Amino acid sequence: MTCMDLLASEGVGDPSPIVSLFWIALIAVLAPLLSRWVRGYLPDVVVLLVAGAVVGPHVLGWASSAGGVDLVSELGLGMLFLLAGYELDPRLLRGRSGRTAWVVWIVCLLFAFAIVMLVTDTSNGTRVAVAIALTSTALGTLLPILKQAGILDSRLGRAVMTHGAVGELGPIVAMSVLLTSRSAGSAVVMVVLFGMAAVVVGFVPVRMLDRKPHLGGGLAELGGGTSQLPVRGVVLLLLVLMVVAEVFELDVVLGAFAAGMILRRLIAAGHPDVDSSLEAIGYGLLIPVFFVVSGMGIDVAAVGRSPALWLWFVVTIAIARGLPVWLSERFVPRADTLPTGRERVELALYAATGLPIIVAVTQVAVQAGLLTADVSSILVAAGATTVLVFPLVARLIGASEAKPVTPAHE
């Protein structure tokens, strides 16, 4: 028996957790290498999803989420949105640009709901779940793409950050309010109570460190070696808010996102810088597990049986999310409005790039009985397609812009 046979052989049952983690680790190592080999035009998150689908139970059956792998994946989901919350600058949500982005996202949600209602005969809960999935923006996924393209600090980059921040936070709140068995009013109350609890959780460490400066010194002393106390504290913060969200019967994604925003405030206040360590833990281990396991849930046969639905989802994401963003830049005058048509198209494509929240929404919707596993697979596949295609098209459009004419005389 060959090594490959040993690694794939579990016969009648699921592969062992160690075998599953082996395949996940191998994919996690190969994904960025492949992405770099094609100069970033194939994002590694797409490689993780596609490879997960291939080795998962629906194709080769070499790996599964059984035996605790799903728990590691859940932690990866939490870490992904913690880092997303940490990267979110609250200033992007304020001011005229922030208010415009909020209005645009609400219009996107209503527009997506209307499209789904016109073409499908399903329950309102299913329509809402699909509409939320169609109107998200994968800001965490876009950040490395924007950095690589060198536009993060440009006017276009700031516009992407603003719409991306709202396109992450808006769907997370909408999931908690609308994808629940409670009435909308009760869900809003729960979200408000959670917000108050999060403020208390975030206020306590900041207040303690402000009133007792020696605690900060102690954290710094225990920040390295075998202690790694600041990192352990952040992991505790993440789990506390995920537990609080669960107690209020909200999605744990909301707790993870709130933990990231609290972490940003702690670090901004001059307290120990742990972001590099968290990125190492998150992007080095937990987040790749989440994406590969999410890929395992994609039923490739279901996507193959309904290519028209997959294509419809991709086109609808572009229309429901990208078109209102483009219209706002074209017809809503502001001081920071993008001046060229090319930049407005680029912004619309970047804003319509969504995947992590699509994965989270479909998981919640399947658990709530609002979506079937087949439709969930097709939606996630459509989200992966937007990550693969939309930023690539945006970069090609940006690269095709006319270069400035060099003056004849310096």
Segment 5-15, tens digit of pLDDT: 555 544 446 78
Per-residue pLDDT at 207: 66
> Residue 349: which residues within 8 A CB-CB, separation 6 or more?
318, 322, 390, 391, 393, 394, 397
Has residue 73 been placed in a domain?
yes
Q: Which amino acid is at 228?
A: Q
Has residue 407 been placed in a domain?
no
Per-residue pLDDT at 186: 76
Has residue 11 been placed in a domain?
no
Per-residue pLDDT at 373: 87
**Average pLDDT for residues 125-129, to the nearest whole number?**
87
Has residue 408 been placed in a domain?
no
**Average pLDDT for residues 302-324, to the nearest whole number?**
92
Per-residue pLDDT at 10: 47
Task: Decide which of 181 and 107 is more confident.
Answer: 107
Task: Decide which of 188 and 37 is more confident.
Answer: 37
| Biggest CA pair distance of the chain | 77
Has residue 7 been placed in a domain?
no
> Residue 37: which residues within 8 A CB-CB, separation 6 or more?
none
264 with 277: CB under 8 angstroms? no
Domain total of the chain: 1
Residues 39-76: tens digit of each pLDDT: 777 778 888 988 998 998 888 889 988 888 888 888 88
Q: Is residue 22 over pLDDT 60?
A: yes
- What is the span of the domain harbouring residue 54? 16-399
Look up residue 59 and give its DSSP letter: T
pLDDT interval class at 23 (50, 70, 90)? very high
Task: Decide which of 183 and 178 is more confident.
Answer: 178
Residues 184-240: tens digit of each pLDDT: 677 788 888 888 888 887 777 666 666 665 555 555 555 566 667 777 878 888 888
Q: Does residue 400 sit in helix, strand or coil?
A: coil
Q: How many residues would you count in the chain?
A: 410
Per-residue pLDDT at 215: 58
Task: Decide which of 261 and 8 is more confident.
Answer: 261
Average pLDDT, the chain: 81
**Average pLDDT for residues 84-111, to the nearest whole number?**
84
The token pair at 12 is 């009648």
Has residue 155 been placed in a domain?
yes
The token pair at 49 is 């999803």
- From the list 222, 221, 219, 224, the residue with the least C-alpha distance to 205 is 219
Per-residue pLDDT at 30: 93
Per-residue pLDDT at 350: 92
Per-residue pLDDT at 405: 42
Has residue 409 been placed in a domain?
no
Orientation of helix 184-211 relative to helix 155-178, angle to 10°: 120
Q: What is the CATH number of the domain that holds 70?
A: 1.20.1530.20
Task: Decide which of 315 and 212 is more confident.
Answer: 315
Report d(CA 18, CA 15) in Å as an integer. Answer: 8
Q: What are phi and psi for residue 369, nearest 5 degrees?
A: 75, 15
Q: Is residue 20 over pLDDT 70?
A: yes
145 with 160: CB under 8 angstroms? no
The token pair at 400 is 């095709």
Query: Is the pTM for the entire model greater than 0.85?
Result: no
Q: Is residue 313 over pLDDT 70?
A: yes
Q: Is residue 356 over pLDDT 90?
A: no
Per-residue pLDDT at 140: 73
Has residue 325 been placed in a domain?
yes
